[in-house]
A = this chain, B = another copy of it.
Amino acid sequence: MKTAKKEKFEDLGLDTKAVAKGYRMLNKDGTFNIRKQNVSFYERINIFHSLVSMSWIRFFTVLVFGYLTINIVFASLYTMIGTENLTNIRGTNALDQFIEAFFFSAQTITTLGYGQIAPLNLPANIVAATESLLGLLLFALATGLMYGRFSKPYASIKYSSHALIAPYQEINGFMFRIVNPKRNQLMEVEVTVTLSLKRDGTELRDFHLLELERSKVVFFPAMWTVVHPITDLSPIYGTTEKEILEKGAEFIVMIKAFDESFSQTVYSKSSYTSKEIKWGEKFIYLPKHSGTEVTIDLSKINDTYKAALS
């Protein structure tokens, strides 16, 4: 976004200017605090996306519920046709026959086909042939969804709970830590930090792209402290903790990387509001060297110590 450095407004593709002081545009989990009204169900919905994104528990609930429903529908069809069209139906009352038809349907839709019960005449044969085709297609769908769910890449980056304003070289810097807890290799990791600030005396907001000490790394094996040096070109140069709070600052972070495990580009988003910044603290130094290996204790990524600002 090289050309955007000179721009101040609407930097994030949202025509939002007037937002209140306490407002957080981006939540910690990377979702936006924006609600779209009057979008038709058809426009909004994305079945594949929903089925791939929902939790496993919900996904299996949908599957099991669908399986039961389909079998009830087909069991009803078989009983409507008459269970005399099926071999070996032993039930003598309607309920028993329905139950047997239900399990015959289950054996058909899964293409299990024990054959202990089998269709005898034309009507039952038509329904069974239809059901088995439907079963194959639904199963084809389920296969695709399972693969889609499993192979869906996600940047599993963890952020330090707070950002810091800490001494950095001769000056100060705004900094936070990111960690890659997975064994997945992240390559060519790029970080963008955009600062949202309330314009003085108004409720309008300006967006500033922050210059970083480094905005891209080739590998990202474990940990990275992202630093915005507060030079005199920085929009927060010379501002105090109180001013930052008053301006309702929000530091919006976007990380782009290539995940080698999934062979896919992945994105991670998060933000730090003015209340999530600690002033005059520094991250402790974590890497420990032991012979031929470097060890990093990821449980300590939030640990800081006091450090006088310059």
| A287 to B34 alpha-carbon distance, docked (Å) | 9
Decide yes or no whether A238 CB sits under 8 A from chain B: no
| Interface segment, one of A20-28, A159-167, A239-247 | A20-28
Given contacts A20-B289, A112-B132, A146-B144, contact A12 B218 (CB under 8 A): yes
Given contacts A148-B147, A225-B15, contact A110 B139 (CB under 8 A): no
A272 to chain B, nearest CB (A): 16
Given contacts A146-B144, A181-B44, A263-B152, contact A136 B110 (CB under 8 A): yes
A150 B139 Cβ-Cβ under 8 A: no
B103 A107 Cβ-Cβ under 8 A: no
Given contacts A152-B263, A263-B265, contact A221 B99 (CB under 8 A): no
A16 B287 Cβ-Cβ under 8 A: yes
A134 to chain B, nearest CB (A): 10
Decide yes or no whether A201 CB sits under 8 A from chain B: no
Interface residues, chain A, with chain B CB atoms under 8 Å away: 1, 3-4, 7, 10-20, 22-25, 32-39, 43-49, 52-53, 63-64, 67, 71, 87, 99, 103, 106-108, 110-116, 118-120, 122, 125, 128-129, 132-133, 135-137, 139-148, 150-153, 156, 158, 181-185, 187-189, 192, 194, 213-225, 254, 256, 258, 260-267, 269, 285-287, 289, 291-300
| A199 to B43 alpha-carbon distance, docked (Å) | 40
A26 to chain B, nearest CB (A): 8
| A22 to B290 alpha-carbon distance, docked (Å) | 11
Residue in contact with A132 in the complex, picked from B24, B53, B110, B144, CB distance below 8 Å = B110
| A88 to B15 alpha-carbon distance, docked (Å) | 72
A46 B15 Cβ-Cβ under 8 A: no
Residue in contact with A115 in the complex, picked from B113, B143, B214, CB distance below 8 Å = B113
Residue in contact with A23 in the complex, picked from B18, B107, B294, CB distance below 8 Å = B294
Q: Which residues of B contact A22 (CB under 8 A)?
A: 292
A-B contact pairs, 6 of them (CB 8 A): A13-B220, A39-B181, A43-B158, A107-B113, A141-B150, A260-B267
Query: Top 7 closest A-B pairs, CB basis?
Result: A144-B147, A13-B217, A116-B118, A38-B299, A115-B115, A114-B115, A140-B143
Q: Which residues of B contact A217 (CB under 8 A)?
A: 1, 4, 11-13
Residue in contact with A48 in the complex, picked from B38, B110, B150, CB distance below 8 Å = B150
Which of A23, A258, A296 has the most chain B CB atoms inside 10 A of its CB?
A296
Given contacts A106-B129, A261-B46, contact A218 B254 (CB under 8 A): yes
